[in-house]
Structure 1
Amino acid sequence: MTRDEGCLTCHAQTQGLGAAHDALGCSPCHLGDATARDAAAAHRGMEVQSGDFATVDRTCGQGACHAVETARVRTSLMARAPGILAVDRFAFGERPTPHRAPGDDLTTLDPKAPAKTPAESHVRKLCAGCHLGARKPRAGDLGEDARGGGCTACHLAPPSAFGRQTGGPLHPDVSAVVPEKRCSGCHGRSGRITMSFRGVAEVEPHDPRVTGKTADGRPTTRTSPDVHATAGMTCVDCHVERELMGSGTPHLHAHEALEVRCADCHVKPAEARSGPLDADREAVAEALRRSWARRKLPPLSTAPLRTLAGTPLVRTDAATYSLLLATSGDRRTIPLASQKPWHALRGHERLSCQSCHAAWAPRCRACHTTFEPEGTDVDHLSGEVTKGHWTERAGGNGFGPPLLAIGPRGAIEPFVEGMRLTIAGEGIPADAAPIDRALFAPLDPHTTARSRTCASCHLRVDETYPKVGETTRVGARLLDDAERARVARVGDCLACHGAWDDPIYRSFGESLGRVRPQCLK
């Protein structure tokens, strides 16, 4: 790899790459014939979209560069989307549960063969465009409209200051510092996580609170951002490489791949997490340290915090409980939740952090999906326009306190409230059309704030809690009648005993045995 190549006959003034990649020249990333001296020959076999999975083994994934990461990212959720396929097949009534089955993997579906079922068609034409194997519609930095593109879906960045020295044409940088807008291209839809994190909620067009709109025209309003956003943090200040790029272990859903937990930073472990790292974690940590050093930012701690799984959070310092922000290098102190006595309140052992600290969640109460067999649309697996067109019409967009239910691991978590999903149209199997069902899904909305009040959960009568409904995760469910009754029983007491540290809550069962007659009226 060298900058002594024919490409520079025309492109010598191109600037923008950071120090890590600038010395490589053009052909290691873009292929072509670097020995040629005319444009036509030089561009033969060229890959404009370096990092695309179709050619990644010869570009980013070649042996001297990122071969290990390339192998792992192909096993990641963002490449394979097994959970989306499994849940879609369940939602369409093609299987009785959202369990994973053979064929729930975008990387194993034949892009040249037509979709075998309506759910597969739906994913290929509406969902798969966000996943890493999809080719971007054009090269370059597409901002929040960017989806797909393999490595550059995440690692394409604005031209670096290093590469602006001579004022030539600008090339995007390729960097381990993933800008938040890279995430927004996909995660500003569906769960709307990047929108919610910044305090932006999608609403109906006629809502008087409308203050703006997204890049694709959806009306929005402003509300409270996540406290981590207020502190200057971005997505990669929490989420680690093994979660996003795959660990080599197959997962079905994001909650299985997630390594970072609130407690990794906000609760001091009984014993320090230390000792040697495995080879993969050490290699990733060293690469991140080198990237940080090239940016000439404050030095990293030699003793960072670690996740429970053992992954070092390289920009943290376990001695001072602080974090250096990924984008600026500014230091932030990490508050310790273990110092707050209300976190030990009896009866709340099953609560996840977000069940109390998620201030609000997006709502989309209706989604009517129709299929037009004579229409056409892009199949994101093949990149070709094929017959069949799906149309989604959403309604009831808004935001409010999240529903609480039992998550797939048994904890009480925020859920997105039941969306009344209807699916109809020619081409849908007769015994499953029209499909009409209420589905609920666990969601960390990324709207962390001060805790909800006791009364916001412990209502004496909660007419809004759904009586029936299905969930999209194996093992997840709504609260049953007995659980709801226990929640409401606390609500009976809150009018007089509203403080969390009221003595009656130290042993609520015993307190109920001393209830006065007037309390039961």
Structure 2
Amino acid sequence: MKMNSKYGRTLLSLAVAAFLCCGFAGMKTAKAADDPANEWKVWQKKYNEQMASKQPGKKDMWLHKKLVEKSIIIDDAKLPNTKKRGKVKESCLTCHDGIEQISAFHPIDTFGCTICHGSDNPDSLIKEKAHENMIAGRSMKGLRNPSNLRIVQKSCGLGGCHYGHKQGDMNHVYRVRRTVMGLQSGISGALRYQYCGQESKFSKYSGVGMDDTDYVPKHRGGVAKMDTLPVFSAKDLPTDDDGNVLTTDDMGNPLTIGKEIADSQWRKSCARCHFWNEGKQAPADYRAQGCAACHVLYDNDGYYKGSDPTIPKDERGHGKVHQVTTAVPAEQCIHCHNRGGRTGVSYEGRVESDFYGTPFMAGKHSSEKYHGKYYNTPMMDIHYEKGMECIDCHTQFDTMGDGNLYSKKHEQAEVRCQDCHGTYKQGIVTTKVTDPKDRVIRLGMVSPNYENNVGDEMVVTGRGNKYTNAKIIDGEPILISKFDGREHVMPIITNKKGVHSIPQHQERMECWACHARHTSQCYGCHDNYDQTRKGKDKLSFQKSAGKWPEFRTYVRYDTPLLGLSAKGLVTTYVPGCQVFFNAVNKKGEILGDFDNFVFQSSEGYSSVATNPVFTHTVRTEVRSCEDCHLSTKALGLGTGQLTIDPDPTGKKDSMKYTYEMDRSGLSAAFPLDVMITPQGNQISSTSHVGARPFNQAEVNRILKVGNCLPCHDGYNDPIYQDIYKAYKDFPTKCKKDAFLKKATAAAK
């Protein structure tokens, strides 16, 4: 096409002008980026471009929007704590244009930014000056997280915020610093016991030393004080920026040298799951530390999805958006609860595979790993299947603690199945709200999904606390999801015939002993102390010689073992932690006998431990009677064939195991799913005070019921209402020929 020369010259002039404008604009932007006083313009321009791409219909408006200083004047009359900062004008939003308001209950015009983040010069437009003396902990992540528990008293923990109230449950900072999830006291005590680092199963140490200066509930396992866990050796002591050795932790507690190898493993491996650090920074594990560990949501990929232009969108390790929430999904909890008993992933129905990908993703082998593992999804917990998240059952006292120090997590948890479902003999316990200042009303006000009022009839926990989201509505017991507001009718088992009516089941068993019909089981923990490599202390954030890579022997998805809990009730057991210890010196040589070495506890039991755990795999399709009364594995005898001798005491019984340990190369004297010998002698240790496997008499009593199952295979069978009477009637009333025929057929 031939172009008119005049028209062509006009187009050329426009093109040159456009080029020059773009060039000058680019030079201007580059100059602004190099000039600290004008860097804010770069970020604001980036935000405008970002919004232009999101809103094509308003593209021109965003691209031509004037760059201006954005300041807010804090209304300190509404929030006296802002006066503590001494500043009322903040210009943070000039750069952080588009950042999300932290929550509806922390409005920006009332709170501002520095009430949480701190700053000596919040009205400055120069980054270095504006960020001067921001609140920060030792960890680099703490620079952006005012809920870091080392410095939280300067932000969330200011008097009048989440601390300093007469109503104890409002003092969240005091409580969270003492919660088992914050201190990991249970794991440190268990590890030391299994490594022969201490004789007692009670936890004496925690990640950070803490004391309880008021009421100590000793009857529930409460303790008055826990010291900071020692370091393993002098080389593990942290140093300051000048290289000086520190003799106290971040809270001023003395740091000691314990010379117990268990302390090294806890500090360099286990401690990644406690609130005082940011956890493992890997897909599906990303989270913050402190309060934000739960209340700031992270996507599994760790990318920021918000609008603040200063936060990189291609850098992992950021919260999803700059917001806190009380509507916490299960996925957030699982950023931590994916190891050990695997309770979090099990709740969602995920079970890991043995080090290989699975063919269940779009017809191809999965290359996506969560928590460093591949997963199958066979069957989720019935509560999750119905749409319930972890927080729908667990109360704030379960998670944030009640302000007391506990040795084990089961001592802190208050939620029980019977709270919402009752028992065969007793219905659920409820109480009415009478005080307008009641805790449940206040918590309902800050929840986006439920509310409570005077006159509401609330369900009560076993400790007498009202659930905030379970109450009687129109005569029905209803649980309201804290996550999405959905209402769930709670099935009540009171006076319903069947398995719940069997007297021995009522008196001696936890509900999940039957209802948890499957669980993930990780056998054989090969814990390796490798001095050729450096490992990071998760408390001091500093590295020293000695890294802790871990391996396992095998994983199974099977019915859990059974034993007695600390309360003396039949409960589910899973392997954990089954220690095979290895140590390598700086030359890469095995140290002494520490080649898959098995410790012996102070009581003489093997460190290949099995512990009581609520598996979080509840189903309405319960375990069959045979799964308990005729299963050697369930009873702790192991997988294999039990030969019962005519001697009724069981002293001459024997087991032929399916797994032969002498062929495995491991130093364990028994298969990894064995807790007791055929004579009922305990082999495997447990780190819970008072918990133990079944003894000989209990095994015999459980197996004896198995004799009746070939004929009496229904829960409603009348013999189970008085099994001891049935035993007495056996010689005269039982049809022996029919019994023997069925029993023989069942044994084949």
TM-score strictly above 0.5:
yes
Which residue number in structure 1 is paired with residue 354 of structure 2?
204
1:163-242 equivalences under 5 Å are 171-205=321-355, 214-242=369-397
- Does residue 452 (structure 1) correspond to residue 623 (structure 2)? The answer is yes
Distance in 2 (CA, whole Å) between partners of 1:446 and 1:209 is 26
| Consecutive unaligned residues in structure 2, runs of 5 or more | 1-73, 76-87, 135-142, 164-170, 210-227, 231-236, 239-254, 300-305, 310-319, 600-605, 640-673, 678-682
Distance in 2 (CA, whole Å) between partners of 1:432 and 1:375 is 17
Distance in 1 (CA, whole Å) between partners of 2:399 and 2:387 is 21
Distance in 2 (CA, whole Å) between partners of 1:137 and 1:401 is 30
3-state SS in 1 of match to 2:406 = coil
1:333-482 equivalences under 5 Å are 333-342=489-498, 343-348=500-505, 349-417=507-575, 420-426=578-584, 434-436=597-599, 437=606, 438-450=608-620, 451-459=622-630, 464=639, 466=675, 467=677, 468-482=683-697
Give the 3 Å change call, closer, same or farther, for CA 137–469 of structure 1 in structure 2: closer
Distance in 1 (CA, whole Å) between partners of 2:280 and 2:342 is 22
1:325-340 equivalences under 5 Å are 325-340=481-496
Q: Deviations over 1:178-230 (max 9, x none)?
A: 23222111101221111111111112136988775542331221211101001
Check whether the contact 1:321–1:333 (CA below 8 A) recurs between aligned residues.
Answer: yes
3-state SS in 1 of match to 2:457 = coil
- Match for 1:87: what amino acid? A
Give the 3 Å change call, closer, same or farther, for CA 461–317 of structure 1 in structure 2: closer
Which residue number in structure 2 is paired with residue 317 of structure 1?
471
Within the candidate set 115, 126, 130, 1:42 is matched to 130
Give the 3 Å change call, closer, same or farther, for CA 118–196 of structure 1 in structure 2: same
- Does residue 65 (structure 1) correspond to residue 167 (structure 2)? The answer is no
Q: CA deviation at 1:298?
A: 5.7
Which residue number in structure 1 is paired with residue 105 of structure 2?
20
Within the candidate set 292, 299, 303, 1:152 is matched to 292
3-state SS in 1 of match to 2:203 = coil
Within the candidate set 84, 92, 105, 2:187 is matched to 84
Distance in 2 (CA, whole Å) between partners of 1:136 and 1:406 is 33
- Does residue 124 (structure 1) correspond to residue 227 (structure 2)? The answer is no
- Match for 1:199: what amino acid? G
Give the 3 Å change call, closer, same or farther, for CA 48–168 of structure 1 in structure 2: closer
Check whether the contact 2:578–2:610 (CA below 8 A) recurs between aligned residues.
Answer: no
3-state SS in 2 of match to 1:173 = coil
Farther off after superposition, 384-393 or 453-462? 453-462
Farther off after superposition, 22-31 or 223-232? 22-31
Distance in 2 (CA, whole Å) between partners of 1:476 and 1:446 is 19
Which residue number in structure 1 is paired with residue 200 of structure 2?
97
3-state SS in 1 of match to 2:95 = helix
Q: Deviations over 1:313-369 (max 9, x none)?
A: 112222420111122111111111224322120222211001011121111111111
3-state SS in 2 of match to 1:386 = strand
Distance in 2 (CA, whole Å) between partners of 1:429 and 1:505 is 57
Q: Deviations over 1:154-195 (max 9, x none)?
A: 110379xxxxxx976584211222232221111012211111
Give the 3 Å change call, closer, same or farther, for CA 324–104 of structure 1 in structure 2: closer
Give the 3 Å change call, closer, same or farther, for CA 276–309 of structure 1 in structure 2: farther
Distance in 1 (CA, whole Å) between partners of 2:457 and 2:697 is 47
Which residue number in structure 2 is paired with residue 163 of structure 1?
none
Give the 3 Å change call, closer, same or farther, for CA 271–328 of structure 1 in structure 2: closer
Q: CA deviation at 1:461?
A: 5.8
Give the 3 Å change call, closer, same or farther, for CA 435–277 of structure 1 in structure 2: farther
Q: Deviations over 1:432-489 (max 9, x none)?
A: 8723532111111101002211111110766536423211111111011111111111
| Consecutive unaligned residues in structure 1, runs of 5 or more | 160-165
Give the 3 Å change call, closer, same or farther, for CA 497–248 of structure 1 in structure 2: same
Farther off after superposition, 419-428 or 42-51? 419-428
Q: CA deviation at 1:51?
A: 0.4
Check whether the contact 1:131–1:148 (CA below 8 A) recurs between aligned residues.
Answer: no
- Match for 2:560: what amino acid? P
Distance in 2 (CA, whole Å) between partners of 1:362 and 1:63 is 44
- Does residue 55 (structure 1) correspond to residue 151 (structure 2)? The answer is yes
3-state SS in 2 of match to 1:310 = coil
Within the candidate set 242, 245, 256, 2:400 is matched to 245
Q: CA deviation at 1:25?
A: 2.0
3-state SS in 2 of match to 1:388 = strand
Which residue number in structure 2 is paired with residue 507 of structure 1?
722
Distance in 2 (CA, whole Å) between partners of 1:206 and 1:271 is 46
Within the candidate set 299, 302, 305, 2:459 is matched to 305
Give the 3 Å change call, closer, same or farther, for CA 369–137 of structure 1 in structure 2: closer
Give the 3 Å change call, closer, same or farther, for CA 28–282 of structure 1 in structure 2: same
Give the 3 Å change call, closer, same or farther, for CA 36–209 of structure 1 in structure 2: closer
- Match for 1:58: what amino acid? K
Distance in 2 (CA, whole Å) between partners of 1:90 and 1:387 is 24
3-state SS in 2 of match to 1:321 = strand
Which residue number in structure 1 is paired with residue 71 of structure 2?
none
Distance in 1 (CA, whole Å) between partners of 2:535 and 2:703 is 49
Distance in 2 (CA, whole Å) between partners of 1:87 and 1:38 is 51
Distance in 2 (CA, whole Å) between partners of 1:416 and 1:179 is 25
- Match for 2:695: what amino acid? D
3-state SS in 1 of match to 2:150 = coil
Q: CA deviation at 1:426?
A: 4.3
Distance in 2 (CA, whole Å) between partners of 1:368 and 1:298 is 46
Distance in 2 (CA, whole Å) between partners of 1:499 and 1:149 is 51
Give the 3 Å change call, closer, same or farther, for CA 336–72 of structure 1 in structure 2: same
Q: CA deviation at 1:17?
A: 2.9
Distance in 2 (CA, whole Å) between partners of 1:64 and 1:143 is 37
Distance in 1 (CA, whole Å) between partners of 2:321 and 2:576 is 45
Which residue number in structure 1 is paired with residue 713 of structure 2?
498
Check whether the contact 2:420–2:428 (CA below 8 A) recurs between aligned residues.
Answer: no
Give the 3 Å change call, closer, same or farther, for CA 303–338 of structure 1 in structure 2: same
Distance in 2 (CA, whole Å) between partners of 1:494 and 1:398 is 27
Distance in 1 (CA, whole Å) between partners of 2:292 and 2:717 is 54
Provide the TM-score with structure 2 as the length reference: 0.63
Give the 3 Å change call, closer, same or farther, for CA 417–210 of structure 1 in structure 2: farther
Sequence identity, in percent? Answer: 28
RMSD: 3.0
Aligned pair count reads 506
Check whether the contact 2:184–2:206 (CA below 8 A) recurs between aligned residues.
Answer: yes
Distance in 1 (CA, whole Å) between partners of 2:469 and 2:198 is 44
Give the 3 Å change call, closer, same or farther, for CA 136–202 of structure 1 in structure 2: closer
Distance in 2 (CA, whole Å) between partners of 1:255 and 1:414 is 13
Check whether the contact 1:16–1:171 (CA below 8 A) recurs between aligned residues.
Answer: no
Distance in 2 (CA, whole Å) between partners of 1:77 and 1:340 is 37
Q: CA deviation at 1:32?
A: 1.8
Which residue number in structure 1 is paired with residue 20 of structure 2?
none
Distance in 1 (CA, whole Å) between partners of 2:548 and 2:632 is 41
Give the 3 Å change call, closer, same or farther, for CA 207–298 of structure 1 in structure 2: closer
Give the 3 Å change call, closer, same or farther, for CA 262–461 of structure 1 in structure 2: closer
Distance in 1 (CA, whole Å) between partners of 2:576 and 2:535 is 29
Give the 3 Å change call, closer, same or farther, for CA 272–500 of structure 1 in structure 2: closer
Give the 3 Å change call, closer, same or farther, for CA 278–311 of structure 1 in structure 2: farther
Provide the TM-score with structure 1 as the length reference: 0.89
